[in-house]
Amino acid sequence: MFVEFFYYLKDRLPVSITEYITLLEALNKGLIHN
């Protein structure tokens, strides 16, 4: 799911793999909520 989201962002924005990993770390720490 998140891999598809990363590629979606990368097609439209200059998103690096580092930024994607930072997003995953924030999700794992519970810093991002629905």
Residue 20 has a CB neighbour count (10 Å cut-off) of 17
The pLDDT assigned to 2 comes to: 73
Each domain of the chain, given as residue ranges in start order, spans 1-34
Inter-residue contact 20 to 6 (CB < 8 Å): yes
The pLDDT assigned to 34 comes to: 63
34 vs 12: CA distance, rounded Å:
23
pLDDT tens, residue order, the chain (34 aa):
677 888 888 899 888 889 888 988 998 999 977 6
pTM of this prediction exceeds 0.85:
no
The pLDDT assigned to 1 comes to: 67
